[in-house]
Structure 1
Amino acid sequence: MSLINGSTSQALLDAQLELWHTTFAFIKSMALKSALDLRIADAIHHHGGAATLQQIASTATLHPSKVPCLRRLMRVLVTTGVFNNRSSTSCAGDEPVYSLTPTSRLLVGSPSLSPIIAMVLHPTLLSPFLELVSWLQRELPDPCCMFKHTHGQTLWELADRDATLDALINDGMVSDSRFVMDIVLRECGEVFQGVSSLVDVAGGLGAAAQAISKAFPQVKCSVLDLDHVVAMAPTDTDDVQYVAGDMFESVPPANAMFFKWVFHDWGDEECVKILKNCRKAIPPREEGGKVIIIDIVVGAGLSDLKHREVQVFSDLYMMFVNGIERDEQEWKRIFFEAGFNDYKIMPVLGYRSIIEVYP
């Protein structure tokens, strides 16, 4: 083999392997999307937690001619840790039996993360990345995000007009809220101790606020969101009040403001505007006033490759709406510019953190 820059053959092969591993990374995501769309985890769960290829194919209503292709899809999903497999000796020979892993168990039951993963992998949200180079190379009207560059309108404008997309987003955020709030309230409930009233800003259908209200009945919880979102809010709960409004205009007064996965949707200027409205709506720190944020702090928490990759992948992903995942210094800058005096970062939610911001 011809050597490049004096590299050994093995070094060249290792570099080639890394290149192809990165090139084929989309296969991993598309295999997971296929598993979601075919409800493979549900099929395995339906069969008592272990299912053969034929059982999965039957439940997923696959054409019989595609069973060999399903075997290849399952091989990818097993290799990437989504499912397990083992051989079952039968009269027909060794037949693979597939079972759930801790990862795929998150795709069945309640709370299930299937809706949030389905949202992230939806073609409408993925297609802007095919225009990434075009968007980077062109001077476009500000703030023309990749999504608007691709679809002609922002994600929020399209969701306002497209009920299916709106439901996809709301269902995704509800599923994430149910998952993460269970952990927050179990492990970090002290964050809400002493809070008398709370507004879940841009809280969607109120899954997070409902969880907080259930765990802390003494806290008066409200959800602020846009008219078309509040119109779909549940009507069978008296524990949470829903308020139609725009966080860029004002937020209702309360002891604490709560944001889950909101600030990463927006640039610094927009975030400062939201935070200034919060600053006006909460009491001084001595009276318990604060802003509670669940979001990524790039570089915070565990430093292994998987955590780092999820944080920076999410940062690039959020670029499609002109959003950003911030490191501590970037968070600090918008907090102080908005008139806040102190903050505390708690990297206790895996790749995400809880941030308390004080006036």
Structure 2
Amino acid sequence: MAFLIGEQSVELLQAQAKFWNHEYNFIYIASLKCVTQLGIPDIIYKHGKPITLQQLANVLPINKAKVHGVYRLMRVLVHSGFFIKEKVSDDDADMGYWLTPASRLLIKDQALSMIPFLEASFYPTYLKPWHHMSEWFQNDDLSAFETAHGSTLWDYASHDPKLNELFNEHMVNDTESLSRIVIRDCQNVFHNMKSMVDVGGNTGFMAKAIADAFPHLHCTLFDLPHVVAGLTGSKNLTYIEGNMFESIPQADAVMLKWILHDWSDEESVKILKKCKVAIPSKENEGKVIIIDMIVRNNKEDHQETETQLFYDLLMMVLNNGKERTEKEWEEVFFDAGHSGYKIAYELGLWSLIEVYP
């Protein structure tokens, strides 16, 4: 017979359990990276239906004595909801592993793949700053990345080809999925515009997608010289090199996609002031299109709020940037001299905001 323990003991044990849960939360991302490197999502996808542990083990490039490890690995990811277990067939009682929308993002050689994120997750250059957070709080560096590496993320990436490659792959893959949604569901944002500048748009995936979807609209991709070097435009897509802190090309609208969260409030105000100079008045339908997070306390979706808070710490550690609440966004807009804004669309973790001069 089990004996009941005291209330204080229960609280202590629960506190310890919470600590261990946080302590080992990294195992989720490590497990995802492992199944991706082993090719498990691709194997299941090509199998075309739920696959049993034995079937999976037969085709995996592993030491067959370690099949028990595959079971334990998959058990964690089934628990997390990345994979599910279903009947192999109506006539068969055996259960097999099957894909969810989340694990489909781990299939190789497909659009919308999240594999570049996994590749970056344990990259030493990205991990090191987290070991220097407490030191950063006590010094004058702008970010923990600077404390760890002696330079900003952007300067470091320009001299580290692997880091630069990981960053560019990250941006392209994430932008590809977002551009599809924006073009499909947010079309009215672009209807009355004749020109748009995508500031800091990397290699231009979003600008290309918008230019293709709206032939009446001339798009300009504006980024640093080493980013746009060698890139070729088209009939309604132009590449221009420059620095957004100095000036921004004239257009009906300026797009800032995942730009301002990389910068402090003071730097964001400077960028938005340059945007205001580049666009027509509100009466002439000038606007800044911002795609970024609006941090909310979503009590109905704990995971969404948690993810946004994680992103905020990530921006702090890597860039001296931040994710903002609506009130914080409003202060930045008005400090930059803009007259108003509208949250036009909610895009999952992100929002599309129209800001008016």
TM-score where L is the length of structure 2? 0.89
Equivalent residue runs for 1:1-359 within 5 Å: 3=6, 7=7, 9-53=9-53, 56=56, 61-86=61-86, 97-108=96-107, 109-136=110-137, 138-141=138-141, 143=142, 145-231=143-229, 233=231, 235=232, 237-299=234-296, 303-320=300-317, 321-346=319-344, 348-359=346-357
SS of 1:285's equivalent in the other structure is coil
Residues 351, 139 of structure 1: CA spacing in aligned structure 2 closer, same or farther, 3 A cutoff?
A: same
Q: CA deviation at 1:94?
A: 8.5
- Whole-angstrom distance in 2 between the partners of 1:127 and 1:232: 33
Residues 238, 117 of structure 1: CA spacing in aligned structure 2 closer, same or farther, 3 A cutoff?
A: farther
The answer to whether the 8 Å contact 1:129/1:146 transfers is yes
SS of 2:283's equivalent in the other structure is helix
Count residues in correspondence. 349
- Whole-angstrom distance in 2 between the partners of 1:339 and 1:60: 59
Residues 239, 70 of structure 1: CA spacing in aligned structure 2 closer, same or farther, 3 A cutoff?
A: farther
Structure 1's unaligned 5+ residue stretches are none
Letter in 2 for 1:14: Q
Residues 346, 232 of structure 1: CA spacing in aligned structure 2 closer, same or farther, 3 A cutoff?
A: same
Residues 120, 238 of structure 1: CA spacing in aligned structure 2 closer, same or farther, 3 A cutoff?
A: farther
The answer to whether the 8 Å contact 1:33/1:121 transfers is no
The 10-residue stretch of structure 1 (65-74 or 238-247) with the greater mean CA deviation from structure 2: 65-74
TM-score where L is the length of structure 1? 0.88
Letter in 1 for 2:125: T
Can you list the C-alpha shifts for 1:184-206, whole angstroms capped at 9, x where unaligned? 22222211121111111100111
SS of 1:251's equivalent in the other structure is coil
Q: CA deviation at 1:123?
A: 3.3
The answer to whether the 8 Å contact 2:51/2:88 transfers is no
Q: CA deviation at 1:355?
A: 0.8
Can you list the C-alpha shifts for 1:20-55, whole angstroms capped at 9, x where unaligned? 222221111222222333333223223325444466
SS of 1:199's equivalent in the other structure is strand
**Percent of counterpart pairs with the same letter?**
44
The answer to whether the 8 Å contact 1:199/1:256 transfers is yes
Residues 242, 305 of structure 1: CA spacing in aligned structure 2 closer, same or farther, 3 A cutoff?
A: same
Residues 198, 24 of structure 1: CA spacing in aligned structure 2 closer, same or farther, 3 A cutoff?
A: same
Q: CA deviation at 1:346?
A: 3.6
Q: CA deviation at 1:11?
A: 4.1
Letter in 1 for 2:237: V
Residues 159, 94 of structure 1: CA spacing in aligned structure 2 closer, same or farther, 3 A cutoff?
A: farther
RMSD (CA atoms)? 2.5
Letter in 2 for 1:139: N
SS of 1:253's equivalent in the other structure is coil
Residues 18, 37 of structure 1: CA spacing in aligned structure 2 closer, same or farther, 3 A cutoff?
A: same
Letter in 1 for 2:226: H
